[in-house]
Structures are given as structure tokens and as C-alpha cells.
Structure 1
Amino acid sequence: MTQNAQDLAAKADAARESLADCDAVLVAFSGGVDSSVVAALAHDALGDDAVACTAKSETLPEAELEDAKRVAEEIGIRHEIVEFSELDDPNFVENDGDRCYHCRTMRLGRMYDRARELGVATVCDGTNASDPGEGHRPGLRAVEELEVRSPLLAHGVSKEEVRELAREYDLSVADKPSMACLSSRIPTGVEVTEERLTRVERAENLLRGWGFEQFRVRDHDGLARIEVGADELDRALDPEFAEAARTHLTEVGFDHVTLDLGGYRTGSVSPAEEAGNGPDASDDAATAEADVFGTQYPTRE
């Protein structure tokens, strides 16, 4: 075993031991890699006294909820789902620079509500040791204020080490890209509405179905700005894709459709850094395989 592997094993053991000191824990669980590793560590440490909890709202894509259910089954942990609406909070809808703070406060508040119902005193999240240094992260302020326990952060587990632990657990999300909630696609200062969230989700489902792996559809008040990873940009420049994107994204509610030649990058419409554990903080878009020019894009009948 290499020194790095020994160090990571020691960190994982320390995290398990700290979790084992709790009578029970509830893990804020998006089904992304960070929260999945915390859930696996907690299940190791506490067995049936560890619970994973996913918050369902308008900002969580349905595909991500299904992923969370599947990964909870992989781990073998009890899985609870709570529902709430960020759109009930005018501070969130306003979409200022602290949108993620308002969202995380509400989301973790629902976690504490369910924990109390279950008689669980400790709530954990998937914040890792790489997160605090990644730009403007108002959501982390909510974690601190609510005294949420972050085992990965406490024991110095970096993002890459989280992925390595996920591989050791044989979790299907080990290499899943980070996924921020749907509201991160709406520029700061533009109100978050159900209409905008819905058309973003439908547009991104199309790109996912066409085989893109790293992408976002930004909603500039009716103008769709498509970002794709640098290694997928050639596919997006294919005239067949351009025509399909224009046709189908206007059908889901956009007035105009554009391609960002700068490619995918986090936080491109907001000061809030979107890398990280999105909905539970968040983690990322599902991957699909496709030959570079082999996808058949549907056309209007």
C-alpha cells in the first residue's frame, strides 16, 4: 500500500470512528459522490442507525432523485425523502448573491425536522476539505450556522480522495461530475421561477439523452446559453446538433438558443460557486456514452 493510500485509509477510519461515537446520524444525501461516501461511512459505523435523507424540491432534477434512490440501495442505507419548496422564500426567489445560503438553510432545516421526527440528534453533510477554498460559497455559512457535522471536512478528505473512497466502495457515482441545483443556471438578479427551472431541466434532459456528459443550459430570461465540456465542443458545433438544439429547446420554452464557445465552466452566471455537493449541497450531471458524431438528433416532423 502506498503512503497516500495509507493516509486515506487512516482518514476514512477516523471518520468512521467519529460517526460511531454518535447514537445515530442523518446524512443530507443528494446521491452525488460526496454525500454518498458520507452515507457509506455512516452505514459502516452505525448500520441501521444511519439514515440518508434527500430533499425533493423544484430545483432538484428528477433524474438526480432517481440516482439518489439507486445509490442508497447500493450502500444499503435507509433512505428518507422530504419535500419542500425554495420558491416559498422570497429571498431565494430574488436570486441575489446569497441564493445558495437561503437554499441550504431551508434544505438543512428540513433535514433537522426529519431527524427530530426520527429521534436522531446529528445531521451530517458531504462538505469535503476542498470545498472551503473554492470561491464564493455562501452555502457553507448555512452549514456552520446550523452546526451540521461534515466528516469529510473534519478529517481532511479532499475531493479527489472522496472519489477514491467511492471507488473502494464500488459506488456507481465515483466518477460522476459535480451537479449544482437547477437554480444555478439562472443569472444572479433574475428571479427564480418554476417556469425557468422547468425549461432548464427539460433542456438538460435533451442534452443528456443526446449523450453529452459535462454541460449546462443557462437561462438568460428566455435565451438558452448551452455550455458543453471542451472535449465535447466539436459535437456541439455539428450543424445537425445546432438544428436539433434550436428546434427542441424552443419547444420547451426558450425564445432563443445559443452555444457558448467558451465551453462549460462553473459559476458562469453567478458569484456562487456551483462545484460541490449541490442539492445536499450538490454533486452532478449523469454520464452517457455516445460516439462523437454518431448521435442521431431528432428533427421536427
Structure 2
Amino acid sequence: MTTAATEAKADAVRAALAKREGVLVAFSGGVDSSVVAALAHDALGDDAVACTAKSETLPDAELDEARRVADEIGIRHEVVEFSELDNPDFVKNDGDRCYHCRTMRLGRMYDAARDLGIETVCDGTNASDPGEGHRPGLRAVEELEVFSPLLAQDVTKEEVRAIADTYGLSVADKPAMACLSSRIPTGLEVTEERLTRVERAESLLRDWGFTQFRVRDHDGLARVEIGRDELERALDAEFARAANEHLSELGFDHVTLDLDGYRTGSVSPADEDEDDEPLVEDVFAQEYPSDD
């Protein structure tokens, strides 16, 4: 349930959006961009468009979700395509990978907006984002002058979820979903092969009923993280057998279960709100200590 203060902020976002002749919302189908899309649709009707950028780092299931949520909102939905793998700065996977990704993704949003005769591109950055660790993607948002209405009106993540709930959005409680490249440790190149096997492995976990998880790809070693509320289900001989069998079939050389459970940003400094994460060689030193 929203408070009067939260409702006032939502009204302020609608008013700010209504001043634009039209907006294109960079739309992932997550709760932040979905709330912006819903508020924009309220404020501008058919002059608001949601746009999702399809690439190798976006799981097919997330694209399907974005289409479904856009339909739920009633907003026009466009899909554009690009490939981060065309950019060597992205592929090398250093601490600025998210910056390069966001720059390309938002660049395609501006291309789509121009094609539609729209000047304003919006995103779902909220007031809780700037303080959450190493966030190079936010630098791209600032440099490209993307309009972040939630941030402008000081709408926090908690308030975003409350607004989503008032709209009855099915993603109101959806966990954060970073792109597939966040599963590859900093310093290890992002390749289509690694992205594909991670996506397929996580699809299996989803099919098996898990809701909070990651499969980290340490150069052929799959490190499976399961949310602590669900970890007990994974501490089972049958799960271990099935996970090892199916993930090996997907191309992983070794399959491990992280006993610390799921946690954001556990492989890369640019990922999921965390910084100071181990490089791939550090993780292998932990998994396979030498005899010295």
C-alpha cells in the first residue's frame, strides 16, 4: 500500500512526463521500467512507447516477460536488436563492461525514438540506485542525458514496488535480474558460447521451480548459487546428480554448488550493486588450491 508521500511522488512523475510531447521508455520488464512505463502511459497515452533491446545478454524468457508486462500495462511495445559482442571493449569484460553495454543499449533506444519522432528517452533509474556500489552503467545514463523520472522525483526502490502494487503489476515483487554477462567473472571474455550455456542452465533451474538463483561461469566451471530460502532443496543428492548431468551436457566441465547461497555481484565489480569482487583466477585458487 502506498503512503500519501509516495502517491504524491507518483503524481509528480506523471506531471513531469505529461510535459513531454512523447517518451520512449527503455523497458526491460523489471519493476523499475515497468512503473515508469505505467506512469508514462497514464500521462501520455499512445504518445508513450516501451522499447526493449534484444541482444545475446538478454535471456529469451526475459524478453517474453517484457512483452507480457507491456501488454499488462497496455503500452505500445517495440523491440530493437543489437549485439554487445560487436564491441571489443564489452567483450574484454573489464570493470567498465556495464558502461559499454548501457551506452550501446541506450544508443539503440535513441535510434528507435528518432524513428518514431520522439525526443525523450526515459529509464527506470530510481533514487536508491546511485548509492548501491559500483554502478558504471549510471555514467552512461548521465552522459546520454536519459531522463530518469523516478530519480528526479526521489522515488526509492521500496516506493517503486509500492507503486507497482497499486497498478496491480505482476512484477511488483520481481527480484532484480542482471544481464547474462554478469555471470562471467571480470577479466574473462564474454562470448556467445558462455552466455548461451549460462542461459540454458538458468532455464533449467527455473523449470525445476527455483526462483532466486544464478549460474556463474568460471571458464567452464559452473558455480550454482541458490537463494538461501531455497538452498535446502539444493542440498540433496538427487539435485546434485541432476545438476551435474544436465549442466555437463550444456558444456560445463565442472559443476559446483555455492554453499553461501545466492548473492548479488559475486563475480564482477560492475555487477548487481556490489564492488571488490574476485577475478576468475582468484576463484579458481579457492576452488582448486595448489599442493604448495
What SS does the corresponding residue of 2:53 show, helix, strand or coil?
A: strand
SS at match of 1:133: coil
Amino acid at match of 1:264: Y
Q: Give the aligned partner of residue 157 of structure 1.
A: 155
Question: Which of 255, 269, 272 is equivalent to 2:270?
Answer: 272
Query: Are the equivalent residues in 2 in contact too, given 1:135–1:273 (CA < 8 A)?
Result: no
1:129 counterpart residue number: 127
Partner Cα separation in structure 2 for residue 140 and residue 32 of structure 1: 17
Answer yes or no: is the 8 Å Cα contact 2:188–2:219 preserved in 1: yes
Question: Structure 2 CA distance, aligned partners of 1:265 and 1:108?
Answer: 27
Tell me, in whole angstroms, the C-alpha distance in 2 between the residues paired with 1:55 and 1:95. 20
Q: Is the 8 A contact 2:134 2:273 kept in 1?
A: no
Identity rate, percent? 80
Question: Counterpart in 1 of 2:173?
Answer: 175
Distance 1:104 1:274 in 2: 14
Deviation at 1:272, TM superposition (A): 1.2
Report the Cα distance in structure 2 between the residues aligned to 1:215 and 1:83, rounded to whole angstroms: 27
1: CA distance, partners of 2:270 / 2:128: 16
Relative contact order, CA 8 A, sep 6+: which one is greater?
A: 1
Cα distance in 1 between the residues matched to 2:158 and 2:185: 29
What are the Cα deviations for residues 209-257 of structure 1, in whole angstroms up to 9, with x where unaligned?
0010100000000000000111111111111100000000000110000
Give every structure 1 segment of 4 or more consecutive aligned residues whose post-TM-superposition deviation is greater than 4 Å.
none
Question: Who is 1:49 aligned against?
Answer: 47
Contact 1:86-1:103 within 8 A present in 2 as well: yes
Q: Which residue of 2 aligns with 1:95?
A: 93
Q: 1:44 deviation in Å?
A: 0.2
**1:179·1:275 contact (CA, 8 Å) conserved in 2?**
no
Write the letter of the residue equivalent to 1:158: T
1:178-257 matches, cutoff 5 A: 178-257=176-255
* Corresponding residue SS for 1:27: strand
Q: Give 1:275 deviation, angstroms.
A: 5.0
Letter paired with 1:12: A
**Secondary structure in structure 1 of the residue aligned to 2:216:** strand
Aligned position for 1:287:
none
For 1:229, give the aligned amino acid.
G
Could you tell me which residue of structure 2 aligns to residue 279 of structure 1?
A: none
How many residues are paired up? Answer: 274
Q: Give yes or no for contact 2:214–2:224 (8 Å, CA) kept in 1.
A: yes
In angstroms, what is the RMSD of aligned CA positions?
1.1
- Provide the rounded CA distance (Å) in 2 between the counterparts of 1:250 and 1:274: 27
3-state secondary structure, aligned to 1:111 = helix
Residues 214 and 229 in structure 1, CA contact (< 8 A), matched pair in contact too: yes
- Listed as ranges, the gaps of 5+ residues in structure 2 are 275-292
What secondary structure sits across from 2:130 in the alignment? Answer: helix
Deviation per CA, 1:19-58: give whole Å up to 9, x if none: 0000000000000100000000000000000000000000
The aligned residue for residue 65 of structure 1 is 63
Give the structure-1-normalised TM-score: 0.90
| Structure 1 residue aligned with 2:141 | 143
Counterparts of residues 277-296 of structure 1 (less than 5 Å): none
Deviations, residues 149-198 of structure 1 (Å, cap 9, x unaligned): 00111111111111111110001101110000000000000000000000
Aligned partners of 1:58 and 1:194 also within 8 Å = yes
